[in-house]
Amino acid sequence: MYIMFQSTKTLFQTILLALLLLPPAAAAQESAAVRQTDSILALLPHLPDAEKLDAIYTLVDINDEATYAKPYIDMLLAEARRQKNIEMEGHALHSLVYHYYFRFDSDSIFIIGEEAIEFLRSHKLYTMLNSVKNNLIFRHFYDGRTLTALRMAEEFYDEIKEIQDEWLMVEILIIMANIYEAMEQYEEALRIFEQCIEMARKNEIKRDDFLAHTYNLMASVAYDLKRFEDALLYTDSVQIELEIVQRNFPERNLQLQFFMMESDRVMAYAQTNRHELALQALRRMEDMFDPQWEGTPHEAMQLHTAYYYFYHLTGNYQKAMEHLNSTLQYVETGTENIVISHWYNMLKARLHFDMGDYRQAAQTAFNVIEGRDSLNTQRFATQINELRTIYELDKLELEAVRKQARIRQQHIINIASLGGCFLLAFIVVCVAWNRKRLKEKNRGLISQLTEQDRLEDELTQRQTTIGELQKRLQLYETIETADFNPEKETFEKLDAMMKQEMLFTAIDLKQKDVADKAGTTEKKLAICIKSVTGMTYSEYINHLRLNHSRKLLLNNEYYTIEAVAAQTGFTRSNFYRLFKEKFKVTPDEYRNGKKALVGSR
């Protein structure tokens, strides 16, 4: 809890402090949280501003896991803005993102997330900014937009690097490594994890069991790569780091971390046929297993899963089946655990197959596949209903905002009608003058573009003539004396092919496909384009597309702007933006200005 109350001089302050210092066991219970909430709500009207903010923040804190937390977050946001408390407003926006993240409300989290990012960045609240960014990245990731999540993480890493916050940089790198691991790019994930370890040691970053946790992730990646010896080395590093944490913080209970470490050892030892060592690790897991964990399925499932892998890999299928069935008993039937249930049942199907019970294996696998299809159908229907509800709520909220805006606008007009009329007249004059100046400017730009087209055509013709002369000259030159430029030759071949076959108009054009058609590699292709034109591959393709789009705009009047964008390999938004950047006018202005220029001549 972030809030530290100052001296309590009033009766209300004393009561509030007592509420906050309730025993953890009682505060963890829902009934205790409800009593605390009701008591604080009763005190709120009597508290001064500073303590009121602290009290509302406490309401958010004790209800952060509840579905009804949002009204308290909204209350905190409104009060923080009223008191102009920047830090508390940042906490409120951060809590909203956190709330929507765990409600799987993707639309809302991205809307409020953008507002939170802008606010936190402008006020340099980088710790909360990092948390908000992480939630947005993971939401993209869990929604299946892996590349978007990765790009967002890379952009944020560059931003954090500018403020030189090593810990936040390491946190973002850990996320990037997890994304690469999910994309099955294990080598890249392992490289980034090693970079995190190096940065943490170099800058002496000591955040509890961070190093142990990172080594544990590296062991998992090594296991995916089937580098079981490396996985064991990483697990040994986990043990070393946990022992260091235990010496420095003797009050910390690291029993669970050691338990999970031994679980990794069991699977690595079993995979390398060191069954005796695997069995010893299993025994240590049993010794560390806390009886209280029987009520928490995750730890009990981990123990039975380790036994399952051990017995399966050592050929004792009956024992493996017993432990797998025990694991399945811990899997609840709730929606959150259906995916886990499917995964364990697929392990069961594989075990039936290895036992020779092919009919049962096929039936189990079929049931899992059928269940997955049903789950996907349910999720789709739920998402449709959620979208419909969100859409209706958004419409109502938008209509309310518009109504309030109309009332405010009418009020302003009634108070200052004369000033409004004068301002309107001034704006009309300014707009007319600016339009006239812009039209003249556009006409000059279009004239320049026309001249540029003519010069490019003339340059193309001359290049063709020069190419023919060079071909003739090569007949009289030896290989030793020839001024051979392989990059230029590759580019001329590429440029001719792109313009003759109009390859650049394909929306899904990939650099690898272009390199294959040009008879070279992606790297060499990028080098030759950069060497000859000074442009990157993407800039070169956009250059061809934009020049082709100008011809379409002028020669095909019946084409809409969307059609021209599609014909040249762009989306509408990208086409408008890139065309404006390159030619300083929009496609519509270019087409209309060109017509006006031709008509004036």
Question: For residue 398, what are its two tokens?
Answer: 């938008």
Q: What is the DSSP letter of 558?
A: T
SS3 content of the chain, % helix, strand, coil (to 5): 80, 0, 20
> Over the Cα atoms of the chain, what is R_g?
33
Q: Is the pLDDT score of 419 beyond 50?
A: yes
CA angle, 325 as apex, 320 and 331 as ends, to 5°?
130
**How far apart are alpha carbons 190 and 556 in whole angstroms?**
53
Place of tokens 């886990």: 340
Tokens representing 414 are 């009634």
Per-residue pLDDT band at 258 (split at 50, 70, 90): confident
Residues of 260-279 as b/e, b for ≥16 C-beta within 10 angstroms? bbbbbbbbbbbbeebeebbb
3-state secondary structure of 284: helix
| Confidence band for 600, pLDDT divided at 50, 70 and 90 | low
pLDDT digits (tens, 9 = 90+) for 260-295: 888 888 888 888 888 888 888 888 888 888 777 665
Give the helix ranges, DSSP H, for 11-165.
11-20, 24-28, 30-43, 49-62, 70-83, 86-102, 106-122, 126-142, 146-163
Instruction: Give the CA count within 13 Å in the CB-facing half-sphere of 338.
Output: 15
The C-alpha atoms of residue 385 and residue 426 are separated, in whole angstroms, by 50
Please compute, for residue 107, the number of CA atoms within 13 A of its CA located in the half-sphere on the CB side.
Answer: 10
- Angle (CA) 578-582-586 rounded to 5° is 65
- Asked if residues 239 and 247 have their Cβ atoms less than 8 Å apart, the reply is no
Kindly state the average pLDDT of the residues 84-104.
Answer: 81
- Distance, in Å, from the CA atom of 238 to the CA atom of 494, rounded to the nearest integer, reads 52
Number of Cβ within a 10 Å radius of residue 361: 18
**Residues 461-490, mean pLDDT to the nearest whole number:** 59
* Across 222-242, average pLDDT: 88
- How does pLDDT run across 19-47, given as a tens digit for each residue? 333 444 433 445 666 777 777 777 778 78
- pLDDT confidence of residue 519: 85
What mean pLDDT value characterizes the chain?
77
CA 404/CA 398 separation, integer angstroms: 10
Q: How far is 214 from 210, CA to CA, in rounded Å? A: 6
CB 41 within 8 A of CB 12: no
Q: What is the reported pLDDT for 543?
A: 92
Task: Give the pLDDT confidence of 162-216 residue by residue, as tens digits.
Answer: 877 788 888 888 888 888 888 888 899 899 988 888 888 887 766 667 788 888 8
Q: Which of 157, 154, 151, 155 is nearest to 169 (CA)?
A: 157
Residue 430 has pLDDT above 50, yes or no: yes
Q: What is the pLDDT of residue 358?
A: 86
Q: Which residues contact 156 (CB under 8 A, 6 or more apart)?
A: 130, 133, 137, 172
Report yes or no: 328 and 341 within 8 Å, Cβ to Cβ: yes
**Dihedral class, residue 584 (left if φ above 0, else alpha if ψ from -120 to 50, else beta):** left
Distances (CA, A) of 252 to 211, 244, 247, 289, 291: 16, 12, 10, 17, 19
pLDDT at 61: 77
Task: Please state the rounded mean pLDDT for residues 548-552.
Answer: 88
